[in-house]
Structure 1
Amino acid sequence: MKFKVYHNAHDFEKKIEPLLLEKEDVFSLFLGVLQAIKAGNYENPFMATIEEEGKILALFQMTPPHPLNLIFVDEIRLEEIIDFFIKSVLEHEITFRSIISLKPWAYKVAKKWEIKTDMTHQLLMDQGLYRLNKVNDSLEHSPGNWRHAEESDSAIIEKWFNLFEIDTGLPISPTENVKKRVAMFLKEREVFLWENKGKIVSMMKKSRPTKNGVTVSLVFTPKEERKKGYARTLVAAVSRELLNDYSFCVLYTDLMNPTSNKIYREIGYKRIADSVHLSFDKDK
């Protein structure tokens, strides 16, 4: 087996894309982030594979400070490949704070990583990955309409971005970082808002387009406007619009939040995989 680090995103894509497209929905995060790396949106990205006689056994991607994304191809030799991965990461002195992967893979890596290091893992988010092919047209719609967010909406989006992080247990991004990210979202026309009687009551965004799909994310409604169906109606309406350009939509949910999972199922999203985001800290 060989641990191969790639420094050119186009070379990396050429090597791994055919394999990823076999499960484009399940591996949409990896594919979508790769497009952003190619566009130069990340500094110092990490891209690597484990190969044997030209065959890919595993692939890895990281855009610090975001988690290391791991995909294992050969399930039969999974234990052996994970051992080789850990050995290679330690030899190359590659550091990471957290990992994201399909649940069985992530926990196997975490267990072996704890044995080899003085680190222990913490669950940051237990995630469900959902796919949508067609919106349920029988849904009851909340009052109002959706529209693309504009530059004049940046202040409320920035505020809600941090509130979304609080709700989901994510680290709170510094104000300057949020301003830059929201400015980019608006430039790319990625944010959608639901308005009722001139008041913005909910938001969502699209992200990480792949060859045939697109991701729905950053779904947020402020507490005072919840339980009125705004988020469900917004996601349903915009997802229907996105399906004019893509074959499917995907989204990640926090499985500890039964309300959001119920809402997405009602829209027509179907759970296709379980993923986890695990962090690592030194054992005290």
Structure 2
Amino acid sequence: MRVRIHDDTSEFWALAKPLYAADPVRHTVALTVIGNWIALPDPNEPAPLLVSIWEGDTLTGVAFRTTRRPLSAGAIPEDAAESVAAALAEVDPGIVGVNGPRAVVERFARAWAARQGCAFRETLLSHLYRLDTLSAPTTKGRARLATEDDVPLLAAWYRAFTIEAMGGQRDAGREESVVRRWFALGSGTMIWEHEGVSVSSARASTVADGMSRVSAVYTPPEHRCHGYGSAVTAAASQWALDAGASHVVLFTDSSNPISNSIYQRMGYRLVCDITEFAFEPAAKSITNFAT
């Protein structure tokens, strides 16, 4: 088995995209993150770390990570986890975590912890859903497509979303540039209005290989418990369908039964679970994960 690190994003994408595109639902993050980087490189971010795995001349798996994000291991064969950990320890010792199917994530985390002398813990278990038939809720108000005039509001909501949903600001100080990049990439960001007031938003990614992912669903606390989040999610889902998506997907936190039941009533069906582990100094934590 051979693990190769790529410096040329286009070269990597020529190899990796057919593997990811063979299952665009499970590989939704790779298709959007790397595809967006190819389409519109972010001058404020280093190029992603790109990895391919080979058996002889046969490509068997790929992986990537972007700055401050965990390694995305969804396309690493389980039996390659230790080899990938060994290779990355030489070039990227600062990996903050890993996510993907539990079996490969656990094997990678154990190998990484043994090499680096660190601990790991499960920080998130997500459900990946795919839309079957959309059933939009009946909610007071209306949806509209966001415009450049909404950038300050969306940036503030994106900041609040990352703090609440991800435990901290992922793009501190860059929220407006992130939102403007959504527009530049052709994403569909929907805002729900009630009585002329913007009360909720959701974003659907540009369609890639027939897939669009709904994300960044946020309703400020003062506007919650009125169904606005459900309504704007349905609106973003419809935007993706109208844009030509055959697969509309989203992630939910498995620990939130309310949002999971809402999305299922809307027509989303469970595809698989995605586990995320974070690496920490051994003195700060003990190695553990849910069983």
TM-score normalized with structure 2 length: 0.88
Aligned positions of 1:153-232 closer than 5 A: 153-173=150-170, 176-187=173-184, 188=186, 190-207=188-205, 209-232=207-230
Q: Secondary structure at the match of 1:201?
A: strand
Q: Residues 81-106 of structure 1, C-alpha deviation per residue, up to 9 Å, x if partnerless?
A: 22211221223354311212122221
Contact 1:149 1:189 in 2 (8 A): no
Q: Structure 1 residues 72, 157: closer, same or farther in 2, change over 3 A?
A: closer
Distance 1:189 1:271, change over 3 A: closer
Amino acid at match of 1:230: Y
Number of residue pairs matched by the alignment:
278
2:233 corresponds to which of 232, 235, 240? 235
- For residues 145 and 167 of structure 1, what CA distance do their matches in structure 2 show? 25
Q: Please state how far the C-alpha of 1:123 moved relative to its aligned partner.
A: 2.5
Partner-residue secondary structure (3-state), 2:173: helix
The residue number in structure 2 matching 1:130 is: 129
Task: Name the CA shift for 1:258/1:13 in 2 (closer, same or farther; >3 Å).
Answer: same
Q: Give deviations 1:16-67, integer Å, cap 9, x for gaps.
A: 2222222110011111111122121342321111101222232111111222
Q: Deviations over 1:110-134 (max 9, x none)?
A: 1222222211113232111111132
Structure 2 counterpart of 1:67: 70
Change in Cα spacing, 1:165 to 1:70, as seen in structure 2 (3 Å) is same
Q: State the distance in 2 between where 1:230 and 1:199 align.
A: 12
Secondary structure at the counterpart of residue 243 of structure 1: helix
The answer as to whether partners of 2:200 and 2:217 remain within 8 angstroms in 1 is: yes
Distance 1:153 1:142, change over 3 A: same
1:44 corresponds to which of 47, 54, 64: 47
Paired residues of 2:201 and 2:219 also in contact (CA < 8 A): yes
Task: Identify the range of structure 1 (265-274 vs 232-241) with the bigger mean alpha-carbon deviation.
Answer: 232-241
Identity %: 23
Q: Which residue of 2 aligns with 1:2?
A: 2
The residue aligned with 1:255 is 254
SS at match of 2:74: strand
Task: Report if aligned partners of 2:63, 2:76 keep a CA contact under 8 Å in 1.
Answer: no
Question: Residues 198 and 189 of structure 1: is their aligned pair in 2 closer, same or farther, counting only changes over 3 Å?
Answer: farther
Structure 2 residues without counterparts, runs of 5 or longer? 284-291
- Name 1:27's counterpart in structure 2: 27
Once residues 104 and 117 of structure 1 are traced to their aligned partners in structure 2, the CA distance between those partners, rounded to angstroms, is 20
Given that 1:58 and 1:70 are in contact with CA atoms closer than 8 Å, whether structure 2 keeps it comes out as no
Moved over 4 A (4+): none
Whole-angstrom CA distance in 1 between matches of 2:74 and 2:238 = 30
Instruction: Name the aligned partner's letter for residue 184 of structure 1.
Output: R
Please tell me the root mean square deviation across aligned C-alpha atoms, in Å: 1.9
Matched letter for residue 34 of structure 1: I
**Is it true that 1:266 corresponds to 2:253 in the alignment?**
no
Structure 2: how far apart are the matches of 1:128 and 1:96?
Answer: 23
8 Å CA contact 2:127–2:252 kept in 1: the answer is: yes
Q: Answer whether contact 1:56 1:73 (CA < 8 A) is retained.
A: no
Q: Distance in 2 between matches of 1:208 and 1:120?
A: 37
CA shift, 1:266, in A, is: 0.9
Residue 279 of structure 2 aligns to a residue whose secondary structure is strand
Q: How far is the alpha carbon of 1:203 from its aligned partner?
A: 0.4
2:289 maps to what in 1? none
Report the Cα offset of residue 237 of structure 1.
Answer: 2.5
**Alpha-carbon separation, structure 2, partners of 1:60 and 1:94:** 16
Separation of aligned partners in 2, 1:174 and 1:23? 29
TM-score w.r.t. the length of structure 1 is 0.90
Q: Residue in 1 aligned with 2:118?
A: 119
Say if 1:242 and 1:190 are closer, same or farther in 2 by CA, change over 3 A: closer
